[in-house]
Structure 1
Amino acid sequence: MGVLHCGPGAMLGGLTAAAVHGLRHWERPDVCVIVANDDSFERVEGVTTFRTRRSLAALRSEGDPSLCRIEPAVLLWAAHERHPRSAMGVLAATIQQRLTTVEQLESWLAALKPLRRAPQMRELLRDVAGGSQSVGEVDVVRLCRDAGLCPPVRQVKRRDSAGRARFTDCEWDLPDGRTLVLEVDGAFHLEVQHYQLDVRRQRSLTTPTRTVVRCTTEELRREPWVVAADLRALGVPLLTSP
Protein backbone atom coordinates (compact mmCIF):
# COMPACT_ATOMS: atom_id res chain seq x y z
CA MET A 1 0.00 0.00 0.00
CA GLY A 2 2.84 2.34 0.73
CA VAL A 3 4.07 2.30 -2.89
CA LEU A 4 0.69 2.69 -4.60
CA HIS A 5 0.27 6.20 -6.01
CA CYS A 6 -3.24 7.61 -6.23
CA GLY A 7 -3.70 10.58 -8.53
CA PRO A 8 -6.17 13.43 -8.09
CA GLY A 9 -9.04 11.27 -9.36
CA ALA A 10 -8.50 8.44 -6.88
CA MET A 11 -7.65 7.64 -3.26
CA LEU A 12 -7.22 4.63 -1.02
CA GLY A 13 -10.58 3.63 0.42
CA GLY A 14 -12.51 0.82 2.09
CA LEU A 15 -10.64 -1.51 4.41
CA THR A 16 -7.36 -0.50 2.78
CA ALA A 17 -7.79 3.06 4.03
CA ALA A 18 -9.05 1.76 7.39
CA ALA A 19 -5.88 -0.34 7.78
CA VAL A 20 -3.70 2.71 7.03
CA HIS A 21 -5.63 4.59 9.72
CA GLY A 22 -4.78 1.77 12.14
CA LEU A 23 -7.71 -0.68 12.04
CA ARG A 24 -6.58 -4.16 13.10
CA HIS A 25 -7.97 -7.63 12.30
CA TRP A 26 -9.84 -6.47 9.17
CA GLU A 27 -7.07 -6.75 6.59
CA ARG A 28 -7.92 -7.84 3.03
CA PRO A 29 -5.53 -9.00 0.28
CA ASP A 30 -6.82 -6.59 -2.40
CA VAL A 31 -6.15 -2.87 -2.32
CA CYS A 32 -9.32 -0.75 -2.49
CA VAL A 33 -9.19 2.49 -4.48
CA ILE A 34 -12.05 4.98 -4.61
CA VAL A 35 -12.38 6.65 -8.01
CA ALA A 36 -14.63 9.29 -9.50
CA ASN A 37 -17.57 7.63 -11.22
CA ASP A 38 -16.92 9.17 -14.65
CA ASP A 39 -13.17 8.52 -14.74
CA SER A 40 -11.71 5.62 -16.71
CA PHE A 41 -9.05 3.34 -15.24
CA GLU A 42 -7.43 0.15 -16.50
CA ARG A 43 -7.97 -2.91 -14.33
CA VAL A 44 -4.97 -3.76 -12.15
CA GLU A 45 -4.54 -7.17 -10.54
CA GLY A 46 -4.95 -7.00 -6.79
CA VAL A 47 -6.71 -3.62 -6.93
CA THR A 48 -10.46 -3.21 -6.42
CA THR A 49 -11.99 0.06 -7.63
CA PHE A 50 -14.99 1.62 -5.92
CA ARG A 51 -16.77 4.20 -8.06
CA THR A 52 -18.66 7.08 -6.48
CA ARG A 53 -20.46 10.23 -7.61
CA ARG A 54 -19.65 11.88 -4.29
CA SER A 55 -17.04 14.62 -4.10
CA LEU A 56 -13.64 13.02 -3.60
CA ALA A 57 -12.35 16.26 -2.12
CA ALA A 58 -14.87 15.96 0.73
CA LEU A 59 -13.81 12.39 1.45
CA ARG A 60 -10.05 12.95 1.50
CA SER A 61 -8.06 12.79 4.71
CA GLU A 62 -6.73 16.19 5.73
CA GLY A 63 -3.28 14.82 6.42
CA ASP A 64 -3.00 12.69 3.28
CA PRO A 65 -4.95 13.55 0.10
CA SER A 66 -4.31 10.05 -1.29
CA LEU A 67 -6.26 8.54 1.62
CA CYS A 68 -9.99 8.54 2.40
CA ARG A 69 -11.07 9.60 5.89
CA ILE A 70 -11.78 6.57 8.01
CA GLU A 71 -15.49 7.34 8.59
CA PRO A 72 -16.59 7.48 4.92
CA ALA A 73 -14.14 4.66 4.12
CA VAL A 74 -15.80 2.19 6.49
CA LEU A 75 -19.36 3.46 5.92
CA LEU A 76 -19.11 3.13 2.14
CA TRP A 77 -17.50 -0.30 2.52
CA ALA A 78 -20.22 -1.43 4.94
CA ALA A 79 -22.96 -0.20 2.61
CA HIS A 80 -21.73 -2.44 -0.20
CA GLU A 81 -20.33 -5.41 1.73
CA ARG A 82 -22.12 -8.65 0.84
CA HIS A 83 -22.37 -9.90 4.43
CA PRO A 84 -24.44 -7.63 6.73
CA ARG A 85 -22.71 -8.93 9.86
CA SER A 86 -19.29 -7.95 8.53
CA ALA A 87 -20.70 -4.58 7.53
CA MET A 88 -21.86 -3.88 11.08
CA GLY A 89 -18.76 -5.43 12.60
CA VAL A 90 -16.32 -3.05 10.95
CA LEU A 91 -18.23 -0.03 12.27
CA ALA A 92 -18.12 -1.37 15.83
CA ALA A 93 -14.43 -2.22 15.43
CA THR A 94 -13.44 1.31 14.39
CA ILE A 95 -15.08 2.65 17.55
CA GLN A 96 -13.73 -0.11 19.79
CA GLN A 97 -10.21 0.58 18.54
CA ARG A 98 -10.70 4.31 19.18
CA LEU A 99 -10.22 5.33 15.55
CA THR A 100 -13.49 7.27 15.50
CA THR A 101 -16.60 7.88 17.61
CA VAL A 102 -20.31 7.14 17.40
CA GLU A 103 -20.96 10.86 16.88
CA GLN A 104 -18.52 11.15 13.99
CA LEU A 105 -19.96 8.09 12.24
CA GLU A 106 -23.50 9.39 12.72
CA SER A 107 -22.47 12.74 11.24
CA TRP A 108 -20.92 11.08 8.20
CA LEU A 109 -23.89 8.74 7.86
CA ALA A 110 -26.09 11.81 7.42
CA ALA A 111 -23.60 13.47 5.04
CA LEU A 112 -23.41 10.40 2.79
CA LYS A 113 -27.13 9.80 2.41
CA PRO A 114 -28.66 8.10 0.59
CA LEU A 115 -26.64 5.13 1.81
CA ARG A 116 -27.56 1.45 1.69
CA ARG A 117 -28.14 -0.14 5.13
CA ALA A 118 -28.37 3.28 6.80
CA PRO A 119 -31.22 2.20 9.17
CA GLN A 120 -29.26 -0.84 10.36
CA MET A 121 -26.15 1.29 10.80
CA ARG A 122 -28.05 3.81 12.93
CA GLU A 123 -29.46 1.00 15.08
CA LEU A 124 -25.98 -0.44 15.58
CA LEU A 125 -24.56 2.98 16.52
CA ARG A 126 -27.35 3.42 19.10
CA ASP A 127 -26.42 0.07 20.66
CA VAL A 128 -22.73 0.97 20.66
CA ALA A 129 -23.55 4.31 22.26
CA GLY A 130 -25.35 2.30 24.94
CA GLY A 131 -22.12 0.58 25.91
CA SER A 132 -21.44 -2.20 23.40
CA GLN A 133 -17.95 -2.37 21.94
CA SER A 134 -18.49 -5.08 19.35
CA VAL A 135 -21.19 -6.71 17.26
CA GLY A 136 -20.94 -9.68 19.63
CA GLU A 137 -21.93 -7.49 22.58
CA VAL A 138 -24.78 -6.03 20.52
CA ASP A 139 -25.89 -9.59 19.80
CA VAL A 140 -25.94 -10.40 23.53
CA VAL A 141 -28.15 -7.38 24.26
CA ARG A 142 -30.56 -8.36 21.48
CA LEU A 143 -30.50 -12.00 22.60
CA CYS A 144 -31.53 -10.92 26.12
CA ARG A 145 -34.25 -8.69 24.72
CA ASP A 146 -35.66 -11.54 22.61
CA ALA A 147 -35.41 -14.09 25.45
CA GLY A 148 -36.86 -11.77 28.09
CA LEU A 149 -33.65 -11.76 30.14
CA CYS A 150 -32.25 -8.81 32.03
CA PRO A 151 -29.76 -6.98 29.81
CA PRO A 152 -26.09 -7.00 30.81
CA VAL A 153 -23.91 -4.14 31.90
CA ARG A 154 -21.18 -3.80 29.30
CA GLN A 155 -17.51 -2.88 29.46
CA VAL A 156 -17.16 -3.05 33.24
CA LYS A 157 -13.72 -2.11 34.54
CA ARG A 158 -12.25 -4.83 36.75
CA ARG A 159 -8.90 -5.58 38.36
CA ASP A 160 -7.52 -9.04 37.66
CA SER A 161 -5.57 -11.16 40.14
CA ALA A 162 -2.38 -9.31 39.22
CA GLY A 163 -3.98 -5.89 39.74
CA ARG A 164 -4.20 -5.01 36.03
CA ALA A 165 -7.22 -3.09 34.73
CA ARG A 166 -9.48 -5.17 32.50
CA PHE A 167 -12.80 -4.45 30.79
CA THR A 168 -15.31 -7.28 30.64
CA ASP A 169 -17.73 -7.67 27.73
CA CYS A 170 -21.00 -8.37 29.60
CA GLU A 171 -21.89 -8.71 33.28
CA TRP A 172 -24.94 -9.48 35.39
CA ASP A 173 -25.28 -9.07 39.17
CA LEU A 174 -27.24 -12.17 40.11
CA PRO A 175 -29.95 -12.32 42.81
CA ASP A 176 -27.77 -14.54 45.04
CA GLY A 177 -24.98 -11.93 45.20
CA ARG A 178 -22.69 -13.50 42.63
CA THR A 179 -21.58 -11.83 39.39
CA LEU A 180 -21.74 -13.58 36.03
CA VAL A 181 -19.34 -12.41 33.32
CA LEU A 182 -19.80 -13.36 29.67
CA GLU A 183 -16.82 -12.83 27.37
CA VAL A 184 -17.59 -12.89 23.63
CA ASP A 185 -14.92 -14.42 21.40
CA GLY A 186 -14.64 -13.26 17.79
CA ALA A 187 -12.84 -15.17 15.06
CA PHE A 188 -9.39 -13.79 15.88
CA HIS A 189 -9.78 -15.02 19.47
CA LEU A 190 -9.47 -18.57 18.12
CA GLU A 191 -5.90 -17.99 16.97
CA VAL A 192 -3.50 -19.85 19.28
CA GLN A 193 -1.84 -16.75 20.76
CA HIS A 194 -5.15 -14.98 21.39
CA TYR A 195 -6.73 -18.15 22.78
CA GLN A 196 -3.96 -18.60 25.34
CA LEU A 197 -4.25 -14.97 26.43
CA ASP A 198 -8.04 -15.30 26.71
CA VAL A 199 -7.76 -18.43 28.85
CA ARG A 200 -5.30 -16.66 31.15
CA ARG A 201 -7.54 -13.59 31.29
CA GLN A 202 -10.56 -15.72 32.23
CA ARG A 203 -8.63 -17.35 35.06
CA SER A 204 -7.35 -14.04 36.41
CA LEU A 205 -10.84 -12.49 36.45
CA THR A 206 -12.53 -15.43 38.19
CA THR A 207 -13.12 -15.11 41.94
CA PRO A 208 -15.22 -17.06 44.48
CA THR A 209 -18.11 -14.66 43.75
CA ARG A 210 -17.46 -13.93 40.06
CA THR A 211 -17.96 -16.60 37.40
CA VAL A 212 -16.52 -16.03 33.92
CA VAL A 213 -17.96 -17.93 30.96
CA ARG A 214 -17.43 -17.53 27.25
CA CYS A 215 -19.30 -17.83 23.98
CA THR A 216 -18.40 -17.22 20.34
CA THR A 217 -19.86 -14.73 17.90
CA GLU A 218 -20.73 -17.72 15.70
CA GLU A 219 -22.94 -19.14 18.49
CA LEU A 220 -24.65 -15.79 18.95
CA ARG A 221 -25.36 -15.63 15.23
CA ARG A 222 -26.45 -19.24 14.63
CA GLU A 223 -27.78 -20.53 17.99
CA PRO A 224 -28.67 -17.58 20.23
CA TRP A 225 -31.38 -19.62 21.98
CA VAL A 226 -28.69 -22.03 23.27
CA VAL A 227 -26.68 -19.17 24.77
CA ALA A 228 -29.87 -17.69 26.24
CA ALA A 229 -30.78 -21.01 27.87
CA ASP A 230 -27.30 -21.31 29.37
CA LEU A 231 -27.44 -17.76 30.74
CA ARG A 232 -30.81 -18.49 32.32
CA ALA A 233 -29.44 -21.71 33.86
CA LEU A 234 -26.49 -19.75 35.25
CA GLY A 235 -28.86 -17.41 37.08
CA VAL A 236 -29.55 -14.45 34.77
CA PRO A 237 -33.05 -13.37 35.82
CA LEU A 238 -36.02 -12.69 33.60
CA LEU A 239 -37.04 -9.09 33.07
CA THR A 240 -40.33 -9.85 34.80
CA SER A 241 -38.60 -11.31 37.86
CA PRO A 242 -39.01 -9.26 41.08
Structure 2
Amino acid sequence: MEPKHSWRDIASGQDGLITLSQLHDAAVTHRAIAFRVQTERWQRVAPSVLCTTTGALTTEQRLRLGVLHGGTGALIGGIQACERAGLRTWQREQVVVLVPYTSAPRPLAGYDFVRTRRAVSQWRSVRAGVPTCQVEPAALLWASTESKPRTVEGLLAALVQQQVTTADALTRWLDRLARLPQAPLMRAALLEIAGGAHSVAELDVKRMCRTYRLAPPARQVKRRDADGRLRYTDCEWRLPDGTILVLEVDGGFHMDADAWADDIARQRALSASDRILVRCTSRELRDDPGRVARDLRRLGVPAAA
Protein backbone atom coordinates (compact mmCIF):
# COMPACT_ATOMS: atom_id res chain seq x y z
CA MET A 1 0.00 0.00 0.00
CA GLU A 2 1.35 3.39 -1.05
CA PRO A 3 2.04 5.89 1.77
CA LYS A 4 -0.27 8.92 1.88
CA HIS A 5 2.64 11.38 1.90
CA SER A 6 6.27 11.19 0.85
CA TRP A 7 8.94 11.89 3.43
CA ARG A 8 10.00 14.91 1.39
CA ASP A 9 6.54 16.48 1.67
CA ILE A 10 6.43 15.84 5.42
CA ALA A 11 9.92 17.23 6.04
CA SER A 12 9.22 20.24 3.83
CA GLY A 13 6.26 21.18 6.02
CA GLN A 14 8.38 20.81 9.18
CA ASP A 15 11.39 22.98 8.36
CA GLY A 16 13.35 19.96 7.11
CA LEU A 17 12.78 17.85 10.24
CA ILE A 18 10.97 14.53 10.47
CA THR A 19 10.37 11.90 13.14
CA LEU A 20 11.16 8.20 12.92
CA SER A 21 7.44 7.47 13.20
CA GLN A 22 6.69 9.72 10.23
CA LEU A 23 9.46 8.10 8.20
CA HIS A 24 8.00 4.68 8.99
CA ASP A 25 4.55 5.85 7.85
CA ALA A 26 6.16 7.14 4.65
CA ALA A 27 7.59 3.64 4.02
CA VAL A 28 11.23 4.64 4.55
CA THR A 29 13.18 1.64 5.84
CA HIS A 30 15.59 1.63 8.76
CA ARG A 31 18.38 0.72 6.34
CA ALA A 32 17.62 3.74 4.15
CA ILE A 33 17.59 6.02 7.21
CA ALA A 34 20.89 4.63 8.50
CA PHE A 35 22.51 5.04 5.06
CA ARG A 36 21.52 8.74 4.84
CA VAL A 37 22.82 9.39 8.35
CA GLN A 38 26.09 7.53 7.76
CA THR A 39 26.71 9.40 4.51
CA GLU A 40 25.92 12.69 6.30
CA ARG A 41 23.00 13.56 4.08
CA TRP A 42 20.82 13.61 7.20
CA GLN A 43 21.64 14.22 10.84
CA ARG A 44 20.05 12.78 13.94
CA VAL A 45 19.16 15.73 16.19
CA ALA A 46 17.20 13.83 18.83
CA PRO A 47 16.61 10.14 19.58
CA SER A 48 13.50 10.07 17.39
CA VAL A 49 13.99 13.15 15.18
CA LEU A 50 16.14 13.59 12.09
CA CYS A 51 17.06 16.67 10.10
CA THR A 52 17.17 16.28 6.33
CA THR A 53 19.52 19.25 5.95
CA THR A 54 23.15 19.59 7.03
CA GLY A 55 24.89 22.20 9.13
CA ALA A 56 23.76 24.02 12.25
CA LEU A 57 20.04 24.19 12.88
CA THR A 58 18.29 27.46 12.15
CA THR A 59 16.16 29.18 14.79
CA GLU A 60 12.98 27.75 13.23
CA GLN A 61 14.49 24.28 13.13
CA ARG A 62 15.47 24.49 16.81
CA LEU A 63 11.91 25.41 17.71
CA ARG A 64 10.47 22.69 15.46
CA LEU A 65 12.80 20.13 17.04
CA GLY A 66 11.45 21.00 20.50
CA VAL A 67 7.86 20.47 19.39
CA LEU A 68 8.56 17.21 17.54
CA HIS A 69 10.57 15.81 20.45
CA GLY A 70 7.88 17.00 22.88
CA GLY A 71 5.24 14.92 21.12
CA THR A 72 1.53 15.37 20.41
CA GLY A 73 0.12 18.61 21.78
CA ALA A 74 3.51 20.24 22.40
CA LEU A 75 3.73 24.03 21.97
CA ILE A 76 6.59 26.50 22.06
CA GLY A 77 6.21 28.59 25.22
CA GLY A 78 8.24 30.97 27.36
CA ILE A 79 10.26 33.83 25.90
CA GLN A 80 10.38 32.13 22.49
CA ALA A 81 6.58 32.33 22.22
CA CYS A 82 6.78 36.01 23.18
CA GLU A 83 9.46 36.62 20.54
CA ARG A 84 7.33 34.98 17.86
CA ALA A 85 4.54 37.39 18.83
CA GLY A 86 6.88 40.37 18.37
CA LEU A 87 8.82 40.85 21.63
CA ARG A 88 12.32 42.29 21.13
CA THR A 89 15.54 42.29 23.18
CA TRP A 90 14.55 39.40 25.48
CA GLN A 91 16.47 36.54 23.89
CA ARG A 92 16.98 33.32 25.84
CA GLU A 93 19.00 30.33 24.63
CA GLN A 94 17.01 27.67 26.51
CA VAL A 95 13.89 26.80 24.51
CA VAL A 96 10.72 26.30 26.57
CA VAL A 97 8.27 23.67 25.31
CA LEU A 98 4.88 23.16 26.96
CA VAL A 99 3.70 19.54 26.87
CA PRO A 100 0.61 17.77 28.27
CA TYR A 101 1.17 16.21 31.67
CA THR A 102 0.66 12.75 30.19
CA SER A 103 3.76 13.28 28.02
CA ALA A 104 7.22 12.56 29.34
CA PRO A 105 9.79 13.52 26.68
CA ARG A 106 13.36 12.52 27.36
CA PRO A 107 15.69 15.38 28.39
CA LEU A 108 17.29 17.20 25.47
CA ALA A 109 20.16 19.67 25.79
CA GLY A 110 19.04 23.26 25.28
CA TYR A 111 15.36 22.59 26.01
CA ASP A 112 13.03 22.83 29.01
CA PHE A 113 10.02 20.55 28.62
CA VAL A 114 7.36 21.87 30.98
CA ARG A 115 4.64 19.34 31.77
CA THR A 116 1.32 20.88 32.69
CA ARG A 117 -2.18 19.66 33.50
CA ARG A 118 -3.62 22.78 31.93
CA ALA A 119 -5.34 22.50 28.54
CA VAL A 120 -2.38 23.81 26.55
CA SER A 121 -3.73 22.37 23.29
CA GLN A 122 -6.45 25.06 23.44
CA TRP A 123 -3.86 27.83 23.73
CA ARG A 124 -2.26 27.37 20.33
CA SER A 125 -1.65 30.61 18.48
CA VAL A 126 -3.18 31.03 15.04
CA ARG A 127 0.21 32.17 13.75
CA ALA A 128 1.53 29.91 10.98
CA GLY A 129 4.63 27.79 11.37
CA VAL A 130 5.91 25.99 14.45
CA PRO A 131 3.04 25.27 16.90
CA THR A 132 3.31 28.05 19.46
CA CYS A 133 1.41 29.02 22.60
CA GLN A 134 -0.50 32.30 22.68
CA VAL A 135 1.66 35.06 24.07
CA GLU A 136 -0.33 35.82 27.24
CA PRO A 137 -0.37 32.34 28.85
CA ALA A 138 3.19 31.69 27.61
CA ALA A 139 4.46 34.87 29.28
CA LEU A 140 2.54 34.38 32.52
CA LEU A 141 3.56 30.74 32.92
CA TRP A 142 7.21 31.64 32.31
CA ALA A 143 7.05 34.59 34.71
CA SER A 144 5.44 32.43 37.41
CA THR A 145 8.66 30.38 37.64
CA GLU A 146 11.06 33.34 37.54
CA SER A 147 12.73 34.03 40.89
CA LYS A 148 13.59 37.70 40.30
CA PRO A 149 10.61 40.07 40.72
CA ARG A 150 12.23 42.74 38.53
CA THR A 151 12.54 40.26 35.66
CA VAL A 152 8.84 39.41 36.02
CA GLU A 153 7.86 43.08 36.01
CA GLY A 154 10.28 43.84 33.18
CA LEU A 155 8.80 41.20 30.91
CA LEU A 156 5.21 42.33 31.51
CA ALA A 157 6.15 45.97 30.97
CA ALA A 158 8.07 45.15 27.77
CA LEU A 159 5.14 43.18 26.32
CA VAL A 160 2.81 46.14 26.84
CA GLN A 161 5.31 48.86 25.91
CA GLN A 162 6.19 47.08 22.65
CA GLN A 163 2.47 46.60 21.93
CA VAL A 164 2.76 42.82 21.79
CA THR A 165 -0.31 42.61 24.03
CA THR A 166 -2.13 44.75 26.58
CA ALA A 167 -2.23 44.92 30.36
CA ASP A 168 -5.97 44.12 30.22
CA ALA A 169 -5.39 40.97 28.15
CA LEU A 170 -2.65 39.78 30.50
CA THR A 171 -4.87 40.45 33.52
CA ARG A 172 -7.74 38.46 32.00
CA TRP A 173 -5.42 35.53 31.39
CA LEU A 174 -4.06 35.84 34.92
CA ASP A 175 -7.64 35.38 36.16
CA ARG A 176 -8.04 32.30 33.95
CA LEU A 177 -4.80 30.72 35.15
CA ALA A 178 -6.02 30.07 38.68
CA ARG A 179 -3.51 29.58 41.51
CA LEU A 180 -0.58 30.67 39.40
CA PRO A 181 2.59 31.22 41.49
CA GLN A 182 3.53 34.89 41.85
CA ALA A 183 0.05 35.97 40.74
CA PRO A 184 -0.14 38.80 43.35
CA LEU A 185 3.17 40.26 42.12
CA MET A 186 2.07 40.08 38.48
CA ARG A 187 -1.38 41.53 39.23
CA ALA A 188 0.13 44.48 41.09
CA ALA A 189 2.61 45.12 38.27
CA LEU A 190 -0.13 44.98 35.63
CA LEU A 191 -2.21 47.51 37.59
CA GLU A 192 0.70 49.93 37.54
CA ILE A 193 1.50 49.21 33.89
CA ALA A 194 -2.13 49.87 32.98
CA GLY A 195 -1.72 53.21 34.73
CA GLY A 196 0.95 54.25 32.24
CA ALA A 197 4.26 52.73 33.35
CA HIS A 198 6.20 51.50 30.33
CA SER A 199 9.24 49.96 31.98
CA VAL A 200 10.62 48.60 35.24
CA ALA A 201 12.34 51.95 35.79
CA GLU A 202 8.99 53.75 35.60
CA LEU A 203 7.54 51.28 38.09
CA ASP A 204 10.49 52.01 40.38
CA VAL A 205 9.95 55.77 40.08
CA LYS A 206 6.29 55.34 40.97
CA ARG A 207 7.18 53.24 44.02
CA MET A 208 9.83 55.74 45.10
CA CYS A 209 7.34 58.61 44.94
CA ARG A 210 4.76 56.61 46.87
CA THR A 211 7.26 55.50 49.53
CA TYR A 212 8.89 58.91 50.06
CA ARG A 213 5.71 60.92 49.52
CA LEU A 214 6.78 62.84 46.42
CA ALA A 215 4.30 64.16 43.89
CA PRO A 216 3.99 61.66 41.00
CA PRO A 217 5.64 62.83 37.78
CA ALA A 218 4.27 63.19 34.29
CA ARG A 219 5.74 60.33 32.24
CA GLN A 220 6.80 59.94 28.62
CA VAL A 221 6.28 63.63 27.87
CA LYS A 222 6.80 64.72 24.24
CA ARG A 223 9.51 67.37 23.86
CA ARG A 224 11.21 69.01 20.89
CA ASP A 225 14.94 69.24 21.42
CA ALA A 226 17.22 72.04 20.24
CA ASP A 227 17.45 70.40 16.80
CA GLY A 228 13.67 70.09 16.46
CA ARG A 229 13.59 66.31 16.95
CA LEU A 230 10.73 64.78 18.91
CA ARG A 231 11.89 63.21 22.19
CA TYR A 232 10.13 61.47 25.06
CA THR A 233 11.35 62.27 28.57
CA ASP A 234 11.12 59.63 31.29
CA CYS A 235 9.67 61.75 34.13
CA GLU A 236 8.84 65.43 34.60
CA TRP A 237 7.71 67.63 37.48
CA ARG A 238 6.60 71.25 37.22
CA LEU A 239 8.18 73.02 40.19
CA PRO A 240 6.46 75.82 42.15
CA ASP A 241 8.48 78.52 40.33
CA GLY A 242 7.40 77.20 36.92
CA THR A 243 10.66 75.43 36.14
CA ILE A 244 10.36 71.90 34.75
CA LEU A 245 12.53 69.24 36.35
CA VAL A 246 13.25 66.27 34.08
CA LEU A 247 14.52 62.95 35.43
CA GLU A 248 16.08 60.55 32.93
CA VAL A 249 16.68 56.98 34.10
CA ASP A 250 19.72 55.22 32.61
CA GLY A 251 19.50 51.44 32.27
CA GLY A 252 22.40 49.03 31.84
CA PHE A 253 22.68 49.66 28.09
CA HIS A 254 23.53 53.30 28.83
CA MET A 255 26.92 52.16 30.11
CA ASP A 256 27.97 51.47 26.51
CA ALA A 257 30.39 54.19 25.33
CA ASP A 258 28.35 55.13 22.25
CA ALA A 259 25.08 55.17 24.22
CA TRP A 260 26.71 57.29 26.91
CA ALA A 261 27.87 59.84 24.32
CA ASP A 262 24.37 59.93 22.81
CA ASP A 263 22.88 60.53 26.27
CA ILE A 264 25.22 63.47 26.87
CA ALA A 265 24.15 65.03 23.54
CA ARG A 266 20.49 64.32 24.31
CA GLN A 267 20.76 65.98 27.72
CA ARG A 268 22.34 69.08 26.19
CA ALA A 269 19.71 69.28 23.44
CA LEU A 270 16.80 68.92 25.89
CA SER A 271 18.11 71.48 28.38
CA ALA A 272 16.58 74.96 28.38
CA SER A 273 16.46 78.05 30.59
CA ASP A 274 13.22 76.82 32.19
CA ARG A 275 14.11 73.13 32.20
CA ILE A 276 16.50 71.27 34.52
CA LEU A 277 17.54 67.79 33.42
CA VAL A 278 19.03 65.35 35.93
CA ARG A 279 19.83 61.66 35.62
CA CYS A 280 20.00 58.58 37.79
CA THR A 281 20.65 54.91 37.09
CA SER A 282 18.12 52.12 37.29
CA ARG A 283 20.38 50.52 39.91
CA GLU A 284 20.09 53.61 42.12
CA LEU A 285 16.30 53.46 41.89
CA ARG A 286 16.39 49.81 42.86
CA ASP A 287 19.06 49.86 45.59
CA ASP A 288 19.01 53.41 46.99
CA PRO A 289 15.69 55.12 46.12
CA GLY A 290 15.84 57.22 49.30
CA ARG A 291 18.90 59.07 48.05
CA VAL A 292 17.29 59.79 44.69
CA ALA A 293 14.12 61.00 46.43
CA ARG A 294 16.16 63.26 48.74
CA ASP A 295 17.93 64.87 45.79
CA LEU A 296 14.66 65.40 43.93
CA ARG A 297 13.12 67.02 47.00
CA ARG A 298 16.17 69.28 47.35
CA LEU A 299 15.72 70.36 43.72
CA GLY A 300 12.15 71.38 44.44
CA VAL A 301 9.92 68.39 43.69
CA PRO A 302 6.80 68.98 45.82
CA ALA A 303 5.41 66.54 48.35
CA ALA A 304 2.51 64.31 47.41
CA ALA A 305 -0.93 65.78 47.98
Judge same fold: TM > 0.5, yes or no. yes
Query: Partner of 1:142 in structure 2?
Result: 207
Instruction: Point out the structure with max Rg over C-alpha.
Output: 2
**Whole-angstrom CA distance in 2 between matches of 1:121 and 1:84:** 9
Q: Normalising by structure 1, what TM-score?
A: 0.92
Q: CA deviation at 1:203?
A: 2.3
Moved more, 208-217 or 168-177: 208-217
Query: Partner of 1:54 in structure 2?
Result: 118
Gaps of 5+ in 1: none
Spell out, residue by residue over 1:45-99, the C-alpha distance to the aligned partner (whole angstroms, 9 max, x if none).
Answer: 1112222211122221111361111111111111110111111110001111111
Pairing 1:25-40 to 2, within 5 Å after superposition:
25-40=89-104
Pairing 1:77-88 to 2, within 5 Å after superposition:
77-88=142-153
**Whole-angstrom CA distance in 1 between matches of 2:268 and 2:132:** 42
Gaps of 5+ in 2: 1-58
Find 2:107's aligned residue among 39, 43, 54: 43
Pairing 1:96-135 to 2, within 5 Å after superposition:
96-135=161-200
**Whole-angstrom CA distance in 2 between matches of 1:12 and 1:86:** 20
The answer to whether the 8 A contact 2:95-2:112 is kept is yes
**Whole-angstrom CA distance in 2 between matches of 1:218 and 1:56:** 38
Calculate percent identity across the aligned residue pairs: 47
Higher relative contact order (CA 8 A, sep 6+): 1
| 1:172–1:31 CA distance, 2 compared to 1 (3 A) | same
Query: Partner of 1:195 in structure 2?
Result: 260
The answer to whether residue 227 in structure 2 is matched with residue 162 in structure 1 is: yes
Q: Which amino acid aligns with 1:42?
A: R
Query: Partner of 1:226 in structure 2?
Result: 291
SS at match of 2:264: helix
The answer to whether the 8 A contact 2:99-2:116 is kept is yes
**Whole-angstrom CA distance in 2 between matches of 1:93 and 1:75:** 13
Moved more, 53-62 or 218-227: 53-62
SS at match of 1:2: helix
**Whole-angstrom CA distance in 1 between matches of 2:126 and 2:260:** 38
Query: Partner of 2:61 in structure 1?
Result: 3
Q: Which amino acid aligns with 2:104?
A: S
**Whole-angstrom CA distance in 2 between matches of 1:143 and 1:89:** 17
RMSD of aligned C-alpha atoms? 1.6
The answer to whether the 8 A contact 1:25-1:188 is kept is no
The answer to whether residue 76 in structure 2 is matched with residue 12 in structure 1 is: yes
Spell out, residue by residue over 1:154-212, the C-alpha distance to the aligned partner (whole angstroms, 9 max, x if none).
Answer: 11122222222222111100111111111222223333343333333222222111122
The answer to whether the 8 A contact 1:37-1:53 is kept is yes
**Whole-angstrom CA distance in 1 between matches of 2:116 and 2:85:** 21
Q: What is the aligned residue count?
A: 240
Q: Which amino acid aligns with 2:268?
A: R
The answer to whether residue 239 in structure 2 is matched with residue 174 in structure 1 is: yes
The answer to whether residue 85 in structure 2 is matched with residue 21 in structure 1 is: yes
